[in-house]
Amino acid sequence: MTLSDSSHLPQVRAQYEALPYPPRNPADESKRLIRTWLDALPMLNHHGFAGGQSFGQGFRVLVAGGGTGDGTIFLAEQLRATDAQIVHLDFSEASLSIARQRARQRGLNNIQWLHRSLLDLPGLGLAPFDYINCSGVLHHLADPDAGLRALLSVLADDGVLGLMVYARIGRIGVYQLQQALRLMHRDGAHDLATQIAHAKELLAHLPRSNWFVRAQELHHDHKMGDAGLYDLLLHSTDRAYSVDELYDWLADQHGLHLSLTDVGRGAAPYDCGMVLGPRKPALLAELATRPLRERQAMAELLGGTLITHSLYATRQPDRLARYGDTRMVPFFVHEPISGPELSAMIHRNTAQPLVMDHSHSGFSFQLDAGQYVKFILKFIDGQRSFGQVFDLVRGENKFRKAPPDDAALFADFEPLYRQLTLIERILLRRQDVPLPALAHG
């Protein structure tokens, strides 16, 4: 294999040859399936394909800088029963080898392996991809924009890019430690093992006043062994973005449309209302008049908890599944909660306002339950469309005399729908376009 040009960084490649990331043991594949946030097909379908993607008909996926294979394995498992093809590309042979062993362990044969730099993508003669995942990679390039352009050169016109890059505010303490360690190692005389030993020693002696320690609940990579520690604190090349910088780069320079969704928490940490809590300050009303991008930038600054930005980017606008279409199926994801259970919870709770403490995301918010909400929830089973759910609501004795029309029911359910989509717990898909089986699980 030849890595064709010098714009990839030899020191970055050397790191991932010595310390494949994330550290994975192929034998663990018999015990569990790691689910990567952006690659869950229901999420991808909702955010990038307006709920109408079947993932059949030769759907093509590229995992660029796929590392030891978390995203690739999850995608390949979900797409196992389809004719979709997945290409896993990485310039670290050691990482690629682990990813391959994991796939072999699972008997997956829908993956093609490419030992290349992603900067070579424009010249490889590959057919366009419908979905490209590039998670935790572009921020390690000397020129992240060159990496993005390489990805876009192989993205289908109506394709979706799933990106994760570091976030500036939540990583402030990380960069202070990186800088301290860089000062310590500036003569270049320390090997990898010594650098790691230094970082461990430093971590064990940091005062409570240190910014990394102050924000320690945000950082976990250094607990994942040497590969994680090195990736977090000793990386030779890494940069981070604020929300504003992200929009400048992806939206202004490249005309992409973005849907931000933080791992496990959705768009909630990008929402000032969610960040400021259930006792809403009056100034929220003024903020609400600002453009989305500005509100998201504010929320990042106020919340301070974003360490990465995960997002879907599309060339075409309006690729988010549309609320207000009776053909859409609403369904619950990411947690074991069903429509009837949520309906019963709202029914039981007479407190006004009803505040939900959502432990998975850490957010507390008011649940806006309108007149029909608990009836609508009762009939949401992940199979019925809104149209079918609404017919069942109209069939309830209580509403027979004056049945609400679709518009009234959509309007009544909308505040709750918006809250649940902010934490990514309810999604939409078109009923006539079923998802592959595992995607429901």
Q: Which is nearer to ligand SAM, 163 or 393 (CB)?
A: 163
72 within 8 A of 132, measured Cβ to Cβ: no
* Contact mark string toward ligand SAM, 136..165, x via CB under 6 A: xx--xx------------------------
Give every CB contact of residue 266 below 8 A, 6+ residues apart in sequence.
Answer: 361, 421, 422, 423, 424, 425
Q: Which of 291, 253, 258 is closest to 272 using CA atoms?
A: 291
Residue 45 sits at φ, ψ, to 5 deg, of: -65, -45
The answer to whether 90 contacts ligand SAM (rule: CB under 6 A) is yes
Stretch that binds ligand SAM, among 15-23, 169-177, 180-188, 318-326 (CB under 6 A): 15-23
Q: Which is nearer to ligand SAM, 162 or 436 (CB)?
A: 162
CA-based angle 205:210:215, to the nearest 5? 110
Pick from 45, 53, 85, 117: which binds ligand SAM (CB under 6 A)?
Answer: 117
Stretch that binds ligand SAM, among 112-120, 329-337, 345-353, 414-422 (CB under 6 A): 112-120
The rounded Cα 109 to chain-centroid distance in angstroms is 25
Nearest distance in Å: CB 251, ligand SAM: 23
Question: What are the Cα distances from residue 263, in Å, to 1, 229, 300, 374, 429?
Answer: 35, 20, 14, 28, 20
Q: Which is nearer to ligand SAM, 1 or 197 (CB)?
A: 1
The answer to whether 118 contacts ligand SAM (rule: CB under 6 A) is yes
Nearest distance in Å: CB 126, ligand SAM: 14
* Contact mark string toward ligand SAM, 45..84, x via CB under 6 A: --------------------xxx--xx-------------
188: number of Cβ within 10 Å: 5
The answer to whether 37 contacts ligand SAM (rule: CB under 6 A) is no
The tally of CA atoms less than 13 A away on the side-chain side of residue 240 is 18
Stretch that binds ligand SAM, among 116-124, 152-160, 174-182, 347-355 (CB under 6 A): 116-124
Exposure string for 283-322, b = 16+ CB within 10 A, e = fewer: eeeeeeeeeebebbbbbbbebebbbbbbbbbbbeeebbbe
- Binding site residues, ligand SAM, CB under 6 A: 8, 12, 16, 21-22, 65-67, 70-71, 90-92, 95, 117-119, 135-137, 140-141, 231
